[in-house]
Structure 1
């Protein structure tokens, strides 16, 4: 963790709005977590503001922009690779079986037992495809992630990739601003269910796509809202795929949600199940009869030979497919477009909405969709199962229907409570932390080229020991009463950031007589 030189010295009082504007301009976190750092060797005590690392611009514009730029680097680096990336670290139970030297015998036995128990508990479902979807071609998947290359008339080799947009189907006619023509006939329930289970559909699509083309297609995808608030997916796909096969895979892909029926709310308001400590489960508030457990509800579903999935989610008919070649302006613009709205919440106004304002009709549209998302279950452990007379999986005391802590139920997410960025494992062969380390390495390289010794990133780590073998640095939470004012903390951090920037620009001048920096080094500095 990098410490700043922030101390308890006072600065002239400034208006909070002015300081916040200066922080945004300087790229400084506007809502840091402040900790006290004690150097036990020198006795120095400092206040260190730690960035909040929010990904939403509405909460912290500098941190959100930094996260977006990191995603841009990740997208650009893996899109048009010419060599296979290093394979990711294997952590499956089979990998541990092949490498027993990594762990002791006890850990190995526990890992294998957990894997066997999970496999035993998995319920078997029929793999027969639905009658209302077409069949898919199926090829043996080769162990490669790079697409085909093409040789032009000039002898130059091209390795094209793709930019594809996947949309959801219609839930009813809408106005140009995305609000329904007739809210009473708009299918809000299906819209909410599709948003809650979008990740299942995406996983099935990529699985089908790989089987259809015969190689391990890699992707960098971002979930973004349309005007009507339905999520759609922009995806950078490595390698070129025939458009006809893509359309066929989209049309034939679906995800069935084999959950107990949840189309009628039984418990709501003051009439909700209560926890019974004697039975260790939830019971009816009046009859005290225990509610069906999650496993019992699934057993009933399995026993019903006429049962249908609780929901089936599909992509819509509309899609956009573009072929791109790495290193071109068009490909670079698509990287920016792909990550453009990652700093916005699902309900935030889009750039093309007038003045960024939210109309009363749109507010009502959001409210109606949120009313569905709030009460629908998001997972087997969701508290909302209590509303339908079913105990959540691994139920515990304290749950209440309509109050599930998952952010999928929040008004700002509207069902899209998971990750907004979906990246395949072999996209670059690196984690996001690895890409962040690359950016820091680029800055260090500039400083070292200018003859400046870059400080160690972990120089104030809590694991650093002194000469006696005890921790040298102690990080402490402090009472809010002991903190300087918000403006003082931020103002000093902005001053320090400006000093670092000046030093870094001077280092670039010294390192190169004609410096031209464009991306990672400037952002990471």
Structure 2
């Protein structure tokens, strides 16, 4: 057998042999072990013993950690499957407030009254503002959602709710207090409770070839494609609102976002319950979202001619402002730009996002091949970034990606985006050092293709459980298979105050190397899998196979 560490071997032969760490990582992937665990030190306050614990990195992309990404996808599949065809209403109501939350709200009420009294006598309210902020933070940390007084001190901008003349009207049905779908009785007496699988796309920006590249790049509307990608989450929200209005019940959904070959985002959506396909397509045709931002069509600053930051207080309430370096003109702040937009009766929205004409609606019944196929489509690309879903393999595809990214580089993605300086407007919360084209938002990164929203969208009453609760269900199933209960020593949750946890730093020289820690986790995984297999064999009355030699499942 050739020894790769034998120095007498030619260098070319040695360099072609795999590294030991790479081999260990491949074995770890086969056993579902995280390949880049986070080492932390755990100290038992009762015994004083300190040990290094490997915490899985929890990555959702296979390019970062394939085992963790696959585990996350399996969890999402379970979540989707459990909520798609529910027959009973899920229990998803808010929990009762505890004593601490009630006390914090009382303290918040007292602080609010004292602040008003201080303001009436012309005193300093800064200290009370600080107290209120602290109480709000403690309320949020205690598990209370939202603010006690939403938008306190901030007037809300309102827009006309009149529908656009170029969008069809939508019917409105009386709302039923349910989230589950209706049942239908077949001629043979069987009862079915069908649901829907919907696919939504963006509008067309020009003719494309089979590989997704434009037939004529010079006429392809890259600006509209970039803006649609940035604001796609908003139009999806509007579609769900309209769908609930037309359906007449509280529609629940599980949806995932992925790109088409032309790089435009599109949505696969599992919907609980059913409605006529024609109505779903009518809802998609009538759905739009208007973005009321200042104009971004005229470039005022680029190249060496960029706004200059000054720290002098010019009376507009900011600590600094951006000026035109040639004229000394102060650029309008974000609020000032919106005020000018409100005052202009002929103003047009910055952008209007619409859904494309291609809307696919399929009926799905629980346990059917269509349900399995839907789950496959919903989770097919979740372990990949948007760019990895359809990798560019030709020069035309790479040029298409490059042209889109060149537009996205300078396209404003949010009120706080530094690209607003390019169009003569100070971003919201402007600060020194901002430059057009340097925004660090996900929308401008190639791996996101302009879409900065969440890849998985789940309604609150989908399954009546959080993702953490679904994970706990998986743990409970394993314990049940092993014949353990939550009160057993081996399965009992860790006491919260028994251990002290500390993240490992480079100064900790007693931490084992990655290869040694991975080997330990592989051995643990082999032992756990063997125990689970043997427990399942005993439950099924099958002979228990001796897996100690391999430690791996068949």
The more displaced of 302-311 and 427-436 is 427-436
Distance 1:358 1:45, change over 3 A: farther
User: Which of 149, 166, 181 is the matching residue for 1:115?
Assistant: 149
Deviation at 1:453, TM superposition (A): 4.2
Distance 1:282 1:507, change over 3 A: farther
Question: Do structure 1's residue 37 and structure 2's residue 42 form an aligned pair?
Answer: yes
> For the residues of structure 1 that align with 2:507 and 2:371, how far apart are their CA atoms?
48
The residue aligned with 1:520 is none
CA contact (8 A) 1:447 1:454 kept: no
Deviation at 1:116, TM superposition (A): 5.1
Question: Do structure 1's residue 250 and structure 2's residue 251 form an aligned pair?
Answer: no
Question: Do structure 1's residue 333 and structure 2's residue 333 form an aligned pair?
Answer: no
Question: Do structure 1's residue 367 and structure 2's residue 402 form an aligned pair?
Answer: yes
The residue aligned with 1:500 is 528
Deviation at 1:452, TM superposition (A): 11
Give the gaps of 5 or more residues in structure 2: 1-17, 113-131, 137-145, 314-318, 544-554
Distance 1:340 1:100, change over 3 A: closer
CA RMSD of aligned residues (A): 2.7
Distance 1:404 1:455, change over 3 A: farther
Distance 1:254 1:182, change over 3 A: same
> For the residues of structure 1 that align with 2:484 and 2:46, how far apart are their CA atoms?
32
Partner secondary structure for residue 233 of structure 1: strand
CA contact (8 A) 1:448 1:454 kept: no
The residue aligned with 1:399 is 434
User: Which of 513, 531, 538 is the matching residue for 1:485?
Assistant: 513
Deviation at 1:417, TM superposition (A): 1.5
CA contact (8 A) 2:258 2:267 kept: yes
CA contact (8 A) 1:36 1:478 kept: no
The more displaced of 448-457 and 177-186 is 448-457
CA contact (8 A) 2:486 2:492 kept: no
Question: Do structure 1's residue 72 and structure 2's residue 77 form an aligned pair?
Answer: yes
CA contact (8 A) 2:259 2:389 kept: no
* Cα deviation 1:311-355 (Å, max 9, x = unaligned): 0001100111110111223212211221111111111144xxxxx
The residue aligned with 1:293 is 333
The more displaced of 79-88 and 307-316 is 79-88
Structure having greater relative contact order (Cα 8 Å, sep ≥ 6): 1
Distance 1:168 1:514, change over 3 A: farther
> For the residues of structure 1 that align with 2:486 and 2:333, how far apart are their CA atoms?
67
User: Which of 58, 65, 73 is the matching residue for 1:60?
Assistant: 65
Distance 1:47 1:233, change over 3 A: same
The more displaced of 100-109 and 211-220 is 100-109
Number of aligned residues: 485
> For the residues of structure 2 that align with 1:18 and 1:37, how far apart are their CA atoms?
29
* Cα deviation 1:118-138 (Å, max 9, x = unaligned): 595221111111111111101
Question: Do structure 1's residue 342 and structure 2's residue 375 form an aligned pair?
Answer: no
The residue aligned with 1:49 is 54
> For the residues of structure 2 that align with 1:449 and 1:117, how far apart are their CA atoms?
50
The residue aligned with 1:475 is 502
Deviation at 1:291, TM superposition (A): 1.9
The residue aligned with 2:184 is 150
> For the residues of structure 1 that align with 2:273 and 2:321, how far apart are their CA atoms?
52
Question: Do structure 1's residue 308 and structure 2's residue 352 form an aligned pair?
Answer: no
CA contact (8 A) 2:295 2:350 kept: yes
Question: Do structure 1's residue 464 and structure 2's residue 510 form an aligned pair?
Answer: no
TM-score by length of 1: 0.86
TM-score by length of 2: 0.81
Partner secondary structure for residue 115 of structure 1: coil
Give the gaps of 5 or more residues in structure 1: 1-12, 351-355, 466-471, 516-525
Deviation at 1:357, TM superposition (A): 6.1
Deviation at 1:285, TM superposition (A): 5.9
The more displaced of 147-156 and 275-284 is 275-284
* Cα deviation 1:12-40 (Å, max 9, x = unaligned): x9622212211211111122222222334
The residue aligned with 1:184 is 218
The residue aligned with 1:240 is 274
Deviation at 1:383, TM superposition (A): 2.4
Deviation at 1:142, TM superposition (A): 2.0
CA contact (8 A) 1:450 1:511 kept: no
> For the residues of structure 2 that align with 1:14 and 1:323, how far apart are their CA atoms?
51
> For the residues of structure 1 that align with 2:324 and 2:522, how far apart are their CA atoms?
56
Partner secondary structure for residue 470 of structure 2: helix
Structure of greater Rg: 2
Distance 1:68 1:363, change over 3 A: same
Deviation at 1:245, TM superposition (A): 0.7
Deviation at 1:104, TM superposition (A): 3.2
Partner secondary structure for residue 108 of structure 2: helix
The more displaced of 338-347 and 486-495 is 486-495
User: Which of 9, 20, 41 is the matching residue for 1:15?
Assistant: 20
Q: Aligned ranges for residues 372-451 of structure 1 at < 5 Å?
A: 372-448=407-483
Partner secondary structure for residue 296 of structure 1: helix
The residue aligned with 1:9 is none
